Structure 1
């Protein structure tokens, strides 16, 4: 793919919609997206899911248990599903998700991946169309930074008149 493009990941249970939080998603779908084109790269599947249905918002919103209780290593193998999910984002510039805990957000940010939280379910095609629209228009600063990191170029100034 030539020109400005980004690799995005979308958290999904259905493989067709942005419909799952980062910690509990069965899959990540990964695309390369430019202003005119998109290319499917991979669908990453995760064997382990969160133990419960934590909704975020702390202990009060989740029946007295912490959202991060979902990520405990309960099988004694030393397997850390959060690390597995974060490592799967290697090479991705933007993560679209329904929700992200503070701990996951910190780890994702360390990879220089910009997380975008969605308040509602959206079709993967709609997410790609939104990214294409932003790439071809006046790009937000976070997107210009992501493109500059991906291409290794200096951050370009961009003005809207």
Structure 2
């Protein structure tokens, strides 16, 4: 079985399996091999860096690590192996997942878990991903992000037409 290992920053002596999301924050996961860049396909990612992001700040929540990952061909090493479900389960509570590539069945499992996958064309630093997410939150978010924010309870309560770009 491909169990996830979690590394979290704990601010007190009580440790919950998944740290509580701060009110109004968007929880995002970033597929990474090195904890510095978005540089992995969903299935081959050894780690996911998880952050809570608001329009003016971001906070590291945890790193979720996997030892047994798929190669980037999308094929499993042995027939019947499921490396996707443990990843989806480990990321529950996240709203967005940024990755370089993701297959249709994996994307469907994420969407079923209310995690919106976002494919990025080229590797980029985690800081760039976080900064761009903040920019989307500060300006008029696209419709798909407004829906995610509403479901997450992180959206402003005024109608979209009343929002002004800053």
**Normalising by the residue count of structure 1, what TM-score does the alignment of the two structures yield?**
0.80
**What SS is found at the alignment partner of 1:25?**
coil
Kindly indicate whether residue 123 of structure 2 is the aligned counterpart of residue 121 of structure 1: yes
- Cα offsets for 1:20-47 (capped at 9, x unmatched): 0000000000000000000100000001
Structure 1 residues 131 and 152 mapped into 2: Cα distance closer, same or farther (>3 Å)? closer
Residue in structure 2 matching 1:137, options 136, 139, 146: 139
Structure 1 residues 155 and 82 mapped into 2: Cα distance closer, same or farther (>3 Å)? farther
Instruction: Decide whether the 8 Å contact of 1:96 with 1:118 is kept in 2.
Output: yes
Which residue pairs with 1:57 in the alignment? none
Kindly indicate whether residue 56 of structure 2 is the aligned counterpart of residue 36 of structure 1: yes
Instruction: Decide whether the 8 Å contact of 1:72 with 1:80 is kept in 2.
Output: no
Could you list the structure 1 runs, at least 4 aligned residues long, displaced by more than 2 angstroms after superposition.
Answer: 69-74, 152-157
Task: Give the Cα separation in 1 of the matches to 2:125 and 2:137.
Answer: 19
Task: Give the Cα separation in 2 of the matches to 1:125 and 1:152.
Answer: 21
| 130-139 or 144-153, which deviates more | 144-153
Which residue pairs with 2:85 in the alignment? 83
Q: Which has the higher helix share?
A: 1
Cα displacement (A) at 1:70: 2.3
**Normalising by the residue count of structure 2, what TM-score does the alignment of the two structures yield?**
0.78
Task: Give the Cα separation in 1 of the matches to 2:156 and 2:131.
Answer: 26
Which residue pairs with 1:18 in the alignment? 38
Which residue pairs with 1:60 in the alignment? none
Structure 1 residues 53 and 146 mapped into 2: Cα distance closer, same or farther (>3 Å)? closer
Structure 1 residues 71 and 107 mapped into 2: Cα distance closer, same or farther (>3 Å)? farther
Task: Give the Cα separation in 2 of the matches to 1:149 and 1:86.
Answer: 18
Note the aligned Cα RMSD (angstroms). Answer: 2.2
Structure 1 residues 155 and 109 mapped into 2: Cα distance closer, same or farther (>3 Å)? farther
Task: Give the Cα separation in 2 of the matches to 1:156 and 1:112.
Answer: 23
Q: Tell me, which stretches of 5 or more residues in structure 1 are unaligned?
A: 55-66
